[in-house]
A and B are shown apart, each in its own frame.
Chain A
Amino acid sequence: MAFVASKETYSGKVYQVNIGTGANAANLGGENVLPFHSFEGTVPNKPVIAYEIQDVPPTDWPENVQKPYSSVSGDPVAWAKFCQDNLKAKAIALRLLGTHPDRENRSPEVAAKTVKDVLSAINVPLIILGSNHAEKDAPVLVAAAEAAKDRNCIIGKAQEANYKTIVAAAMANNHKLIAMSELDINLSKQLNILITQMGFDKERLVTDPMCSALGYGLEYTYSVMERIRLAALTQNDLTMQPPMLADVGMYVWKIKEAQAPESEMPLWGNTEERGIAWEATTATALLVSGAELLIMRHPRAIEAVEKLIEELV
């Protein structure tokens, strides 16, 4: 029996979504095969990792992931520049956490100013995220989208509860848009349809099927992503073809394994290495299941995943 490689021919393709402007603009997606299956199709772009920063100091992050940013994280502009210039970030994700009503409850105007300031300091693509408060995110992201007009950012996250205003803002200001639903392929499809029905170009979307950390539901995100990608490629389902986002850092750095001291959990080994490994491994699993854009926190985790990506392409 002679071996003949059984290659798949896929009928669909992931949209190629361009972000940022100028020399440092980047492309997401564009492949017509499952992740890293370059042996049977074309994979024109590598996944992109964005460094996560916040408009407020990251006092809610565990110490080990605060540390690398301790000299800059008091100021989002300095923080963004540090990621771009010192850490060679290919993209930055600014989370406007300070706008959350339970936090500083900053106004949309203040958030917009932060966005402007950060954008004037960097030339890599910017992802602008709300505080994940569905109601407040709507006005905040509208103001942020205006402040970032024509810089080809990604705005997010639009959810079922608030998508209308956010979609309109992304459309008016020429941005890309993250559509997030909760770990369900049908909900994800549904939201993409609702958004495109408003006239938003489906080729400007990024799908966030909701992340989860290794050991805390990762297998759900993993399989939802695989199923979305299979629907896009094998069934040529146009509503499932946007590139996918894995918002890794915020899910990983809140769990116990990423922070419990070794003195309390001697069998778990070094705390700092463990946290970094947890973030990088969560990212790895989601890369092979379909993510083209990752948002991460620890510079060493990002560096390791970038090395892995080099080995995978």
Chain B
Amino acid sequence: MALSGVEIFKLLPKTNCKKCGHPTCLAFAMKLAQRQATLDACPDVSDEAKRVLGEASAPPVRPITFGSGDKAVKMGEETVLFRHEKKFVNPCAFAVEVKDTLSESEITKKIEDVLASEIDRVGQKLRIDAIAITNASGDKGKFEAAAKLVSSKAPNTPVILSTTDTAAAEAAIKLFSGKRPILYGANSSNADAMANIAKTEKAILGVTAHGLEDLSNLTEKIKALGVEDMVIDAGSVKAKDILGNNTLIRRAATKKNFKPLGYPVINFVQRDDTLLELLVAGIAVTKYSSVIVLSSIEKWKNLVLFTLRQNIYTDPQVPMQVEQKIYNIGEPKPESPLMITTNFSLTYFIVSGEVENSKVPSRLAVMDCEGLSVLTAWAAGKFTATKIAQFITESGIEKDISHKELIIPGYVAILSGSIEDKLEGWKVTVGPREANGLPAFLKARAA
């Protein structure tokens, strides 16, 4: 449990020497309590204080990096149960299952689908993050062969090796040395051997048990064996259990600082019905899962899951925004059209995407409205005629263009007269309401 500023203060040197950049030890302690400073700023702090504070300030859900390199995924570090309290920290990873019973060409196809899964949405690059190789055959050779195929064709993609057979695990994991794979399948009967493999290979250990009590006991045992990085699974299969167990795990970790469950959660949501699988994955995304293993990754399904994850993990206080400026789309000439919108990321990316679709080189003036959409900004008095006029004037765009025409979003048609009043010599044109009307609108003007 996090310590209060006063509790932290008691552990500091209390000399008020200011070396940490704060006027007093108490001031520094307050910053520490708010996580706005780190302990290493104080050169004189005792080892004992470091130990106590280190333990107390460790995030309730252990931070773990899964995979290595550019495609590594951060997990854990969560502190709350509800997204309105504070931004959820590390978005969950999506993995697709590759069974070792599949043929080489089927496996290759799955790997290619993963590698081609990257989509740009609202300026973020999103993809299927990982591949979960499962030992469905029960055969060590087949498991190793599948792992070989994955490691050669997708050498940078994080991997989950799913088997309870320690010999199979040992053979396959060597292929991912130094790549921080998850070795999933430590249970009450193989925990010692699995812990050993994970320790030697510096892998993350996936620990599974029936129910939360057994799971806590098992993680404690494994921790005592020297494995620190684990992902946990309470044997949740039904959507009801995913929701229930994940909730109790997150609660135990964040509210009680219960360390045996203070690890990222992994959920397996495979279903024969791909649409139902998507929805169960949706439960896992909203309810605290850190790794979600799917059986299939159709493009439409990926887009839905990426979008849901993005929505759940956005900052509830600060909408996603883009920089205020005049963006060139294509290579605009002086006579090219000039449009205006707000700096809410979603708005910007939708509108700029449609302008691109039109193939008409254009300028898009993006005005800072604190990340609000057009209508919201208008309703909140941030996208007003006065502010628009001021922004256009101060941008200096007039000297780059040969016309004085500003195209405004159709939803704020009501502003056209008053902008004309405030922007001398300008003509305001009302564009379509929805951005998907822009290609036709721009093409018709260009013709």
Could you say which residues of chain B place their CB within 8 Å of the CB of A214?
304, 307-308, 311
Number of interface residues of B (CB under 8 A): 55
Q: In chain B, what residue has the closest Cβ to A264?
A: B357
| Cα–Cα, bound, A61→B191 (Å) | 55
Tell me the chain B residues, 356-385 only, with Cβ under 8 Å from chain A: 357, 373
Is A273 part of the contact surface with B, judged by Cβ < 8 Å?
A: yes
Tell me if A37 and B244 are in contact (CB < 8 A): yes
Given contacts A276-B275, A284-B282, A300-B275, contact A222 B299 (CB under 8 A): no
Residues of B with C-beta under 8 A to A223: 82-84, 316
Distance (Å) between the CB of A98 and the closest chain B CB?
21
Task: From B121, B212, B259, B278, name the one whose CB has the most chain A CB atoms within 10 angstroms.
Answer: B278
Question: Cβ of B403: which chain A residues have Cβ within 8 Å of it?
Answer: none
Please indicate the chain A residues that have their CB under 8 angstroms from the CB of B280 in the complex: 308, 311
A17 located at the interface, meaning its Cβ lies under 8 Å from any Cβ of chain B in the complex: no
Q: Range of interface residues on chain A?
A: 35 or more
> Is B346 close to A, CB under 8 A?
yes
B275 — which chain A residues lie within 8 A by C-beta?
A: 273, 276-277, 280, 300, 304
Residues of chain B with a CB closer than 8 A to A38's CB: 240, 244
Stretch at the interface among B8-16, B103-111, B250-258: B250-258
Quick one: given A39-B248, A311-B238, are A3 and B258 in contact (CB under 8 Å)? yes
B303 touches A3 (CB 8 A): no
Chain A positions 193-226 with a Cβ under 8 Å from a chain B Cβ: 214-219, 222-223, 226
Q: Is the interface of B mostly helix, strand, loop or mixed?
A: helix
Residue A134 interfacial (CB < 8 Å): no
A215 to B346, CA, bound (A): 8
Cβ of B278: which chain A residues have Cβ within 8 Å of it?
A: 277, 280-281
B239 near A: Cβ within 8 Å?
Answer: yes
Q: Do most interface residues of chain A lie in helix, strand or loop, or is the interface mixed?
A: helix
B243 interface residue per 8 A CB criterion: yes
Flag whether A11 is at the interface (Cβ < 8 A): no
Check if B84 sits within 8 Å of A226, measured CB to CB.
yes
Q: Are A277 and B301 also in contact (CB < 8 A) when A226-B82, A256-B350, A288-B243 are?
A: yes
| A219-B298 in contact (CB<8A) | no
Inside 8 A of B217's CB, which chain A residues have their CB? 3
Q: Is the Cβ of B436 less than 8 Å from the Cβ of A256?
A: yes
B269-313 contact mask (Cβ, 8 Å, vs A): 1 or 0: 000010110111011001100000000001111111001101110
B192 at the binding interface (Cβ < 8 Å): no
- Are B276 and A307 touching (Cβ within 8 A)? yes
- Residues from chain B with Cβ under 8 Å of A277 in the complex: 275, 278, 300-301, 304
Chain A residues closer than 8 Å to B157, beta-carbon distance: none
Interface residues of B in 219-278 (CB under 8 A from A): 220, 238-240, 243-244, 247-248, 251-252, 255-256, 258-261, 273, 275-276, 278
Minimal Cβ-Cβ distance residue in A for B298 = A269
Chain B residues within 8 Å of A36, by CB: 240, 243-244
29 A-B contact pairs sorted by A residue (CB < 8 Å)? A1-B258, A3-B212, A3-B261, A5-B212, A6-B252, A38-B240, A38-B244, A215-B311, A218-B311, A219-B314, A223-B316, A227-B82, A267-B299, A268-B299, A269-B301, A269-B302, A270-B298, A273-B298, A274-B300, A274-B303, A277-B301, A284-B279, A285-B282, A300-B275, A304-B276, A304-B279, A307-B276, A307-B279, A308-B280
Give me the interface of A with B, judged by CB distance under 8 Å: 1-3, 5-6, 36-39, 214-219, 222-223, 226-227, 230, 256-257, 264, 267-271, 273-274, 276-278, 280-281, 284-285, 288-289, 300, 304-305, 307-308, 311-313
